Structures are given as structure tokens and as C-alpha cells.
Amino acid sequence: MSMMEPSKKPLNVLIKQLHGNIEVVLKSGYEYKGKMIKCDGHMNILLEGATECKDDQLMTNYGNVLLRGNNILYIILDANKH
């Protein structure tokens, strides 16, 4: 682990996407797309203009949303390309 370049560590890769559009998929199956305004060492994420989807169906539009990191399954970093 100590050999890994710091810039390749997951949380550092995440920080590089600040102010970009990302998609966060939770263990529950819910997906949140939005602009990542902030994140921290727990992988807590603040999304701006977030939309909530489940099974590819739009559920809710939010303003800002604070997601608690422990619920995250994975994060799609290049959400613009899809």
C-alpha cells in the first residue's frame, strides 16, 4: 500500500472529480446523479442538482443532497459520457 502513488488512491481519484458530474450508486440500488461539490475521507458526498433514480426511473429531483459514504456501492466518475 505504501508503494502506491498517492494520486492513484481511491479518495484522491474522487477528489480530482470535484465540480464534475458523477453518478453514485448505493447498496440499496438507488442512483444519484449530480455535480459533486464536496467530499471527505468517509466518502460522504455533497451533490448539487441531484436526481434520484431507481431501476432507471426518475424518482425525485433534489437541490443539494448530502450522501453518507457508508451507503455507497460504487461511483461512476465520467457520468457525462453516458
* Contact status: 68 vs other proteins (CB under 8 A): yes
Q: Which of 30, 37, 42, 24 is nearest to 64 (CA)?
A: 37
The grid coordinates of residue 55 equal 431501476
Distance, in Å, from the CA atom of 56 to the CA atom of 28, rounded to the nearest integer, reads 14
Q: Which residues pair with 47 in a beta bridge?
A: 36, 65
* Contact status: 39 vs other proteins (CB under 8 A): yes
Tell me which stretch binds other proteins (CB under 8 A): 4-12, 13-21, 64-72, 74-82. Answer: 64-72
Output 9 or 42, the one with its CB closest to other proteins. Answer: 42
Residues lying near other proteins in the complex (CB under 8 A) are found at 26, 28, 30, 32, 38-42, 44, 46, 50, 60-68, 70-71
